Amino acid sequence: MQTANSYSGENQPYLTFVRVDTLDALIFGCGRLAIMVLEYLQKQGCNVTVLDSEQNPLIELEKKYTIQTILIKDPVIQDYLQEANIRIAEMFFGLSRCDHTNILLSQIAKHLFNISTVICHIEDPSLHDIYSQLGLKVVGKSDSQLYQKTIDLLEA
């Protein structure tokens, strides 16, 4: 049985600060929007790492795309971000189905690791203004052209 790359939190992350090339983008989530953004970024020549808490979607992504994947198995989220080399990332996308996890990871990327481009998918419209004012570029379920708005924010 094939398994996605994973980090258990028991040992030092095996890829942290080992890469020579710059990691361009981290994507949290494996849904349809995340896959469309992944494809767009790869066409732009970006290196992409995808993080998720579900193993099977990560395995499917590894079969189809040349990417690194990281399976999140415990609540120490910052360890996974460091394994994904967030310190050298240029972009972070919180694109899972969970607003609160997207918000948490996007805030960490923006305010602790100073990632300049952070795009956060938030379905609850009542949270859009709050997190936009905190420096996140927010896309939501109410947008009829969600993918296009995400790309527009990325290119802005």
pLDDT at 11: 35
The residues, ordered by sequence, that sit 6+ positions from 68 with a Cβ below 8 Å of its Cβ are 5, 15, 48, 49, 50, 84
The H or E element containing residue 110 is: none
pLDDT at 28: 95
pLDDT at 9: 39
CB 27 within 8 A of CB 93: yes
Indicate if the pLDDT at residue 19 is higher than 80: no
Indicate if the pLDDT at residue 26 is higher than 90: yes
28-69: per-residue pLDDT in tens? 999 989 999 999 999 888 899 999 989 999 999 999 998 999
